[in-house]
Chains A and B, each alone.
Chain A
Amino acid sequence: MALVLVVRSEELGIGYEHDEGVAWVVEDLDLEVEHGVVTCLIGESGCGKSTIGNAISGLLPPYARTYGRLVVADRVVIDGDKMNFTGVRGKVVVRIAQDPASALNPYLTIGEQLSTAIRTHFPGLSEHDVRSKALELLSDVMLGEDVYDRYPHQLSGGMKRRAAIALALAPEPEVIVADEPTSALDAYLKYAVASLLKKLQREWELTLVFITHDVSIARYICDQVVVVYAGRIVEEGASPRCLESPSHPYLELLLKALPKRFSKDRLADIPGMPPRPGMYPTGCKFHPRCPYVFERCRQEEPPIIKAGDRLVRCWRYYEQSLT
């Protein structure tokens, strides 16, 4: 099958305006997401992964500034400093927030909320079809028909979460951006949510952009891994394999900093902290914390380099890529 790109960014930059100018959070981002895959954006807080997610789903705040281009489903949504998400936001791309249940209206039954969404996106449908479509959505997220007539407060936390996911699917989107849908959940619930999203993604042939800081969930769900540090992609691979054998020093240290179940070896200390937007260092953005740093890293920012089965933004792989 030919490679169909659903999300493509070309030298995309996103920043936020403040009193003294613009703090650029994401710079020169070249992200490509294929149709029908699960792409995980992995990174620590403040690295810009949510900003990327919000940009794709068209939910950047009014004080956001951009440059470059972002194409979502053949529509140029960001072109330079102009944004146009009409017909894309909430239709082609939907976002599932960390607490999806907060998307539900407490005054309306689940059925009313689903039918409103269906009527808005599919105006020609008869009332009978709207109802059967809503019930179908409920069964897709493994909820019974009785949920149709219930109010959110009558549902358990897990049911509300699934109802909200059904609501997100009502416009039949192509891309779902899930921003940390599993954080703050118990371990087994994390996997329950992740496997539901994966199941829906397969059945509906959706593209899922899954934003997380949880490496084990990423390993479980993703087809493509994109590791973000200081607003750039530092490592990208078409399989979860880079989470087993990392190339970029940041990913390597990050994985060594995770506690392993049967090892009491000292965890890797990554010295310092991730840089704040607007205060990124020169050269490679990871160089102040990198154990392999050499002179070139301080001067020049490395390009993204093809190294074996993946892309890495590190000078250590530069020589290798020339041969």
Chain B
Amino acid sequence: MSSPLLKIENLHAFYTVPLGGLRYGYRKVWALKGVNLDVFPGTTLGVVGGSGSGKTSLIRAILGFLRPAKGRILFRGMDISKLDRRRRMEIVKEIGYVPQEPSQSINPKMTIKDSIAEPLRPLGLSKEDIEKRIGVVMEMLDLDRSVGRMLARELSGGMLQRVAIARAIILKPRLLLLDEPTSFLDISTQAQILNILRDLKEELGLTYVLVSHDIDVVSYISDRIAVMVSGKVVEEGVAEKILREPLHPYTSILLNPEGVAREISIANSETDLCPIRSWCPLRMKKCSTEPPPAVKIDNEERTVLCWHYTT
């Protein structure tokens, strides 16, 4: 097997938040508590999880918006969180990012064309080259030439999301990070964007990390799936297999949410213990005393973070 394009090892990251309650001071809230992931070239890793599970923090850490407290983020074998500014610029060009809400990520005062071309600016390309590249990406995303002269507020959500994707691929990245690319869209526009993403991946040989709370969106586009709860990956493996036979109890709930007609709680505490131990059907004594181990099953193809699968 080829070496992974993106390798995340034991990644920890936290946010500092005010103590609140009329007290002065700050405390750490751990958003990522030891994430391990491999993303191989040309594949799509779908990351699913509930709100507050750390999906977006993971993307932010890869982008360098959130500093890792521990662990490494290896892109093409280099730890991108430790590179100096200049080297980082070189490498990070190859990572594209499509944010959650396009209407907030596109400058409302810039024309669409300028927005798409903005990432090219530091490269010092000639005017013709820039024009040519804009033409190519706009055609790929089925954006009419006239759209280039418009402002963000004149476009619908679906169109804006296409602009955001155009902007992300104009630097010809190898890896594209997609943070809930369709959660703000209607069903029909969601289908258009998902189809475009699938076509682009074929055409450009891209690698995706797609974050979503919608398991059906993830399953449509992913080769592998990682399920996150409370800053940890609790199950990771081949998409098809996880969908057919989820092993971690949290994955089962994500796949069949109508089965749980009550509100369940996810313990977002600082301990390393299993976050679903309070209601888990497979609960054992160990679950409330020791953190769950990462168990490899299916010929090392799948990882489950659960005591139940230790033999």
Q: Known A191-B261, A192-B261, A220-B258; judge A186-B190 contact (CB<8 A).
A: no
Interface bits A165-191 vs B (CB < 8 Å: 1, else 0): 000000000000000000000111111
Interface bits B42-62 vs A (CB < 8 Å: 1, else 0): 000000001100000000000
Q: In angstroms, how far is the closest chain B Cβ from the Cβ of A155?
A: 12
B262 / chain A contacts, CB cutoff of 8 Å:
192, 195
Q: Known A188-B257, A191-B257, A192-B261; judge A266-B195 contact (CB<8 A).
A: yes
B216 and A260 form a contact (CB under 8 A): yes
Enumerate A242-271 residues with CB–CB distance to B below 8 Å.
253-254, 257-262, 264, 266-270
B37 / chain A contacts, CB cutoff of 8 Å:
none
A44 and B186 form a contact (CB under 8 A): yes
Chain B residue nearest in CB terms to A268: B191
Q: In angstroms, how far is the closest chain B Cβ from the Cβ of A92?
A: 28
A260 / chain B contacts, CB cutoff of 8 Å:
216, 220
Chain B residue nearest in CB terms to A266: B195
Chain A residue nearest in CB terms to B253: A188
Q: Known A188-B254, A261-B219; judge A269-B192 contact (CB<8 A).
A: yes
B74 / chain A contacts, CB cutoff of 8 Å:
none
A158 and B263 form a contact (CB under 8 A): yes
A267 and B186 form a contact (CB under 8 A): no
Interface size counted on chain B using CB atoms at 8 A: 33
Chain B residue nearest in CB terms to A199: B261
Chain A residue nearest in CB terms to B192: A269
A257 and B215 form a contact (CB under 8 A): no
B186 and A259 form a contact (CB under 8 A): no
B195 / chain A contacts, CB cutoff of 8 Å:
266-267, 269
Chain B residue nearest in CB terms to A45: B186
A254 and B187 form a contact (CB under 8 A): yes
Answer yes or no: B188 CB below 8 A from chain A CBs.
yes
B220 / chain A contacts, CB cutoff of 8 Å:
259-260, 264, 267
B253 and A270 form a contact (CB under 8 A): no
Answer yes or no: B130 CB below 8 A from chain A CBs.
no
Enumerate B34-93 residues with CB–CB distance to A below 8 Å.
50-51
B51 / chain A contacts, CB cutoff of 8 Å:
186
Answer yes or no: A273 CB below 8 A from chain B CBs.
yes
Q: In angstroms, how far is the closest chain B Cβ from the Cβ of A258?
A: 6
A273 / chain B contacts, CB cutoff of 8 Å:
156, 158, 189
A266 / chain B contacts, CB cutoff of 8 Å:
195, 198
Chain B residue nearest in CB terms to A214: B187
B194 and A259 form a contact (CB under 8 A): yes
- Further contacts, 17 of them, CB under 8 A, given A187-B214, A258-B216: A45-B186, A187-B50, A187-B257, A188-B263, A188-B264, A192-B264, A216-B258, A254-B187, A257-B191, A259-B191, A259-B194, A261-B215, A261-B216, A262-B244, A266-B195, A267-B194, A270-B191
Closest 10 CB pairs of A and B: A257-B191, A195-B261, A259-B220, A267-B191, A187-B257, A186-B50, A44-B186, A270-B188, A188-B257, A259-B216
9 A-B pairs in the complex with CB atoms less than 8 angstroms apart = A45-B186, A187-B50, A188-B254, A188-B264, A259-B220, A260-B220, A261-B215, A264-B220, A269-B195
